[in-house]
Chains A and B, each alone.
Chain A
């Protein structure tokens, strides 16, 4: 119960929860009424955006003790995987959309 109450009394947590709830509504609002042609690029773009998890990987990596090799290895892998998600995601999306814009010019 105490931890439940602290959700609303602790300013930092309260701020985060506000962000979560507003973001849920934003996500729904931003996406509705998208033509089915754009479903795939949109999914791919969203895929790249959740690559923001890489920031967590960078923090983990940057805070790891220099003699903790397990943490360093795991963090190193995490940053690589996160970068793959971000870079690959944006590049693939761009390639898909490039096709669309090419046909627009015609």
Chain B
């Protein structure tokens, strides 16, 4: 009876995950979809706690431990998720993903120790190959995901810099080959009395995760996080095999396959292939574009006053937000600027590049937080159509997404990525903190073009000054 009820809980869980994901992919139903999946998760979790019976029909024990851990995780998780700033969302997702990977890793370690205990008690026992494969691979993938997510997290919050390791690809290949060999040896049970081999896989997998993410440019982190996300899904699915558990299997595989597709979709939005992101990382090509930097001439600066005047007498202004806006937390001031300009009869729109910021949709979320009306946010194609009739384009801390090299310079690492064609407008004002290149680490020739004027300073301060200048006019 209890078991039948548990299976029903798992079925409900699986169905809510599928429905949740489906609803999450439509703007109108997305929020409800998230809640539906969460409800299914709660049913599956409590079903397991109270109804699960092992092979000898024993219920689970250690309830105090389980509930203590659940409480700690819930409190810490909720606080972390509630407190995190909008700008730090991507790294938070990466961090939570890493936790899931670590969880899969720990499960496999405990299960492995149990197998070792049985062998110690009965040396003639040979564990099933299938079970060993599932334990070892679950641990391996979970560890890679954990280590990789931690590096991605560190990169996004600036603790870890991009670094290319000479011969890195070769090293990764050797580690990968070593991992496969070890997996075959351990799961084949060739040396059943050598736990060192199992923990060797653990160490190598962690190293692999680190080296895999390390050379990938910070601008590509969203793609990497999405990929690691699907890895953790697969690790969870191995847990499903281990416990013959349908909800872990559906949940894990669903995320594994949906995550892979999402990764590919993200790459497409940047017009790059996954291979290009993983192997041809920006860092590796840094040597190339420095040669082109020589040709650049001078840039011209523009004062706050002149910028304000230029915009006040414009008919149409398009604002292009980038990561600089997010860092400066300038979304509210930005909305204020928009309102002041509208009062003066200027039409203000926003041009949103799909990968502006650190994650797809980052800018939409940020501007929505500041109550910028939805209709004002133009997608890249629409914004480009409007550029021709625009007087002033104001670029706020965006760089690579407006770099003309993506269209003009085949040797550029971002060549082929669709950009916002700001040069079709009459004037371009670029607000940046300095002349330092953007996240991709490449020079932006736009800053030296005749139409472009530079307005240096922190986005928030610059916008505040612009607003007060405009109000005085």
Contacts and interface: CB of A to CB of B under 8 A. Distances in A.
Pairing of A with B = yes
Nearest to B30: A97
Contact of B100 (A23, A38, A43, A53): A53
A23 B360 contact: no
Interface stretch (B13-21, B192-200, B285-293, B405-413): B13-21
Interface in B227-264: 229-230, 232-233, 235-237, 239-262
B22 interface: yes
Contacts of B21: 27, 30-31, 42, 45-46, 49
Contacts, number: 382
Contact of B45 (A25, A58, A103): A58
A92 B94 CA distance: 11
A90 to B, nearest CB: 4
A44 to B, nearest CB: 5
Given A63-B60, A98-B31, A100-B30, A88 B81 contact: yes
A3 B129 contact: yes
Interface in A55-106: 55-64, 66, 70-72, 74-104, 106
Contact of B89 (A35, A38, A58, A92): A92
B35 interface: yes
Given A3-B129, A52-B44, A53-B239, A23 B250 contact: yes
B257 A24 contact: yes
Nearest to A39: B360
Contacts of A28: 257-258, 261
Contacts of A44: 89, 93
A13 to B, nearest CB: 7
Contacts of A103: 368, 371-374
B261 A79 contact: no
Interface stretch (B61-69, B170-178, B393-401): B61-69
A86 B41 contact: yes
Interface residues of B, number: 119
B72 interface: yes
B462 interface: no
Given A31-B262, A64-B62, A87-B77, A94 B35 contact: yes
A106 B368 CA distance: 10
Nearest to B133: A3
A70 B113 contact: yes
B99 A49 contact: no
A5 B222 CA distance: 41
B143 to A, nearest CB: 13
Interface class of chain A by DSSP = helix
B150 interface: no
Interface string A13-46: 1001001100111111011111111111111111
Contacts of B1: none
A51 B361 contact: no
Contact of B254 (A16, A26, A106): A26
A99 B365 contact: yes
B426 to A, nearest CB: 29
A99 B86 CA distance: 10
Nearest to A83: B73
Given A32-B261, A90-B35, A103-B371, 17 more contacts: A3-B129, A16-B249, A19-B250, A40-B90, A42-B21, A46-B233, A49-B41, A50-B229, A52-B252, A62-B63, A71-B113, A76-B68, A78-B107, A82-B99, A84-B99, A92-B96, A100-B364
Interface of A: 3, 6, 12-13, 16, 19-20, 23-28, 30-64, 66, 70-72, 74-104, 106
Interface of B: 13, 17-18, 20-22, 24-28, 30-31, 33-35, 37-38, 41, 44-45, 48-49, 52, 54, 59-63, 65-66, 68-70, 72-74, 76-78, 80-82, 84, 86, 89-90, 92-93, 95-97, 99-100, 102-104, 106-107, 109-111, 113-114, 128-130, 222, 225-226, 229-230, 232-233, 235-237, 239-262, 265-266, 269, 354, 359-362, 364-365, 368-369, 371-374, 379
6 contacts: A34-B265, A39-B226, A49-B17, A51-B100, A59-B245, A96-B89
* Across the A-B interface, the 5 shortest Cβ-Cβ residue pairs: A83-B73, A62-B60, A27-B257, A79-B69, A87-B77
